[in-house]
Chain A
Amino acid sequence: MSSRDSILKAIAANRPLAQPLPLIDLSMVSRPVDPLESFRTVLGNIGAATVLLSSVDELSAELADARDQGLRVINLVAGAGAMDAVDPAAEASSLEDVDIACLSGTICVAENGAIWVPEQNMGNRLLPFICTQLMLVVDRADIVATMHHAYATIDAFAEGFGAFIAGPSKTADIEQSLVIGAHGAKGLTVYII
């Protein structure tokens, strides 16, 4: 018998009596009074910056400045100035010098600052992680209260990959001392339109 079959057979023989799934009743779940305020506060607490914008166009000048300073920018947000093309199959070696990646997030979670970034918004799966500074552009209308509400809104497995990103990369592995900028982006700025 293959390992697969012997494992499944052992499980079938040893599993407990059937137990029901709970009903996830969202009326039991607390919601922040002011979702935008909560979203911004939590992001601040986890090392990210937030900026309120009236239009995405306000980002154009900032990105143009960065380019003028010689920084490598990859902008995939329409309306934020010049857009860049990125190959989904590009190797890590061609992306490791990206200073700024500017991407669109979709659903934002007020309780924990997480932002859903689907694969199609990443250009390349590595980009949100390998860039030094990550800029995420989101719509304040897309802020939901909790992770339950987020999963009710997105189809998390619609594409090959997707991620909830909450803040810049961090570690506390040396004596529990918090350091921002472990392996992923060293900074996250969230632009809320």
Chain B
Amino acid sequence: MKTMTHAAAAEVFNQDAARTRWHDETLWFVRQKRDRAAQTLPEWETLRSWASQIKDHTLSHLDEYLSEFERNALANGVQVHWAADAAEHNRIIHEIISRHGIRRMVKSKSMLTEECGLNEYLHEQGIEVIDTDLGERIVQLRHEHPSHIVLPAIHLKREDVSETFHEHLHTEAGNHDPQYLTEAARLHLRERFVAAELAITGVNFAIAETGGFVVCTNEGNADMGAHAARVHIACMGFEKIIPKAEHLGVFLRLLARSATGQPVTTYNSHFKKSLPGREMHIVIVDNSRSRQLGREDFRNSLKCIRCGACFNTCPVYRRSGGHSYHTAVAGPIGSILTPNLDMRAHADLPFASTLCGSCTNVCPVKIDIHDQLWKWRQVLAAEGHVSWTKRVSMQMAAFVLSRPGLYRLAGRMGRGVLKTMPWLAEHRWNPWSKSRALPEPPAESFRDWYLRNRKS
């Protein structure tokens, strides 16, 4: 089946106008919480600069820091694995599971394992992983994917969750109370935690100087799994590395404030060594990140700390929903990361933006997201990944806009058409007239007005 483009999927999402409005307003509310949290700190912009500079520095010495991290992690007794791509990442994890003959395992949130399709891969091997973040568990039970990197089930209403839990966890039909539903999930997942033999977690920050890593959650699910199971596998994209523990002070101050407006996540767990008799593994994944590092215009997308602030502020994301992006990481940051993974498959995403720049303004590590969206458009057009309709219309626009006489003629014709024959512009084949009323045509152009008034 061919994946729907972002525009086509967004059109489907928008068919439910009330839900679209709810989605839009809910995410804007999260964005406002972020603003209030940021505004409590006079040094907010300084923090962003520090975070950005630490990440720039780290990317410029990345191979050295990764080697240092590996050396220290090995000295701590942690087993370090390197995966060139998603397939190798999945194979490594499968191999650890098989070696121990493990049947019961839990996973806390890791967008990397989503990117690698780990759950599907293990499912094909007959292995089921239980996602333990509440939002992720909800979408897993529904055979869906997260629609937001921080709020995985933000596309769902409480009625949807209630239905899903009634079917799978046998909660009361029609009980939509979030407190009740969360308690049901707590009980259901407690059993899974206590029985877990292996736990997979993501990594928020890996610290080169100590070989340790930090995992942040609000629910406590990463800790419940990692400390209950005798094998802990932590999966990280190689850009998660930071040089020193003191840098955590900068990033932990920014992460939760940017994500949800909280002053810090509830649990900020610092892992260094496993208990005696247990195992800790770290899988360091490339999966095209080294190629992105080599793209000068796009490399600083690797500074991302996955806070999701750019999602919450994006007018296009808020009104189109995460699933319209058909990728593990949606939103503005996903739209600059994923064309690197597969340019043809994700050629539509850099166009899913108004280039308003709000994403860039809220990014805690100062990634120039909207500039990169624009630059990807140039690359995609040059590589022939743009539809012929867009190509031809852009060529026509360029032809007209570069010829002043023709431009003036076209302007006069446009005003005339809008005045006398609006149906010529306002019809279902013109995407610009969808859910928009075309403007009243002005009587004359600015140029005509200017020439007339300057002379008088």
Q: State the A residues within 8 Å of B (CB).
A: 2-4, 6-8, 10-22, 24, 28-30, 42, 46, 88-89, 91-93, 96, 109, 111-114, 124-126, 128-130, 146-152, 155-157, 159-177, 179, 181-185
B275 touches A156 (CB 8 A): no
B369 on the interface (CB 8 Å rule)? no
Distance in angstroms between the alpha carbons of A165 and B354 in the assembled complex = 39
A111 touches B263 (CB 8 A): yes
Q: Which of B51-59, B386-394, B420-428, B441-449 contacts A (4 or more CB under 8 A)?
A: B51-59
Distance in angstroms between the alpha carbons of A124 and B94 in the assembled complex = 29
A164 touches B253 (CB 8 A): no
Known: A4-B82, A11-B62, A183-B190. A129 touches B268 (CB 8 A): no
Closest chain-A Cβ to B454's Cβ sits at a distance in Å of 50
A183 touches B245 (CB 8 A): no
B263 touches A46 (CB 8 A): yes
Considering only residues 41-73 of chain B, those with a C-beta below 8 Å from chain A are: 41-43, 46, 49-50, 53-54, 56-57, 59-63, 66-67, 70
The residue in chain A whose Cβ has the minimal distance to the Cβ of B262 is A46
B293 on the interface (CB 8 Å rule)? yes
A150 touches B249 (CB 8 A): yes
SS of A interface (majority): loop
Distance in angstroms between the alpha carbons of A42 and B262 in the assembled complex = 10
A22 touches B267 (CB 8 A): no
Q: Chain B contacts of A171 at CB under 8 A?
A: 134-135, 182, 218-219
- 10 closest A-B pairs by beta carbon, nearest first, are A184-B220, A14-B294, A112-B263, A160-B273, A173-B135, A182-B219, A10-B290, A92-B228, A4-B82, A157-B210
B7 on the interface (CB 8 Å rule)? no
Instruction: Give which listed residue, B60, B194, B245, B274, contacts A19 with CB less than 8 A.
Output: B60
The residue in chain A whose Cβ has the minimal distance to the Cβ of B274 is A160
Q: Chain A contacts of B185 at CB under 8 A?
A: 182
B249 touches A147 (CB 8 A): yes
Closest chain-A Cβ to B47's Cβ sits at a distance in Å of 9
Instruction: Give which listed residue, B82, B220, B248, B290, contacts A156 with CB less than 8 A.
Output: B248
Interface size grouping (class) on chain B: 35 or more
Given A149-B249, A160-B272, 15 more A-B residue pairs with CB atoms under 8 Å apart are A7-B84, A15-B293, A16-B296, A21-B53, A21-B54, A30-B41, A92-B193, A152-B249, A157-B211, A163-B223, A164-B270, A171-B135, A174-B138, A175-B161, A183-B193
Q: Chain A contacts of B67 at CB under 8 A?
A: 8
Q: State the B residues within 8 Å of A (CB).
A: 26, 29-30, 41-43, 46, 49-50, 53-54, 56-57, 59-63, 66-67, 70, 76, 82-84, 88, 132-135, 138, 151-154, 156-158, 161, 178-179, 181-183, 185-186, 189-190, 193-194, 196, 207, 210-212, 218-221, 223-224, 227-228, 238, 243, 245-250, 252-253, 260, 262-277, 284, 286, 290-291, 293-294, 296, 299
Q: Which of B62, B268, B270 has the most CB of A within 10 A?
A: B270
Instruction: Give which listed residue, B43, B63, B154, B263, contacts A8 with CB less than 8 A.
Output: B63
What are 13 inter-chain pairs, A to B, with CB distance below 8 A? A3-B84, A16-B56, A28-B46, A92-B194, A112-B253, A126-B227, A146-B249, A147-B252, A169-B219, A174-B182, A181-B182, A182-B134, A183-B190
Q: Chain B contacts of A146 at CB under 8 A?
A: 249, 253
Distance in angstroms between the alpha carbons of A175 and B245 in the assembled complex = 35
Distance in angstroms between the alpha carbons of A165 and B83 in the assembled complex = 32
Closest chain-B Cβ to A50's Cβ sits at a distance in Å of 15
A161 touches B271 (CB 8 A): yes
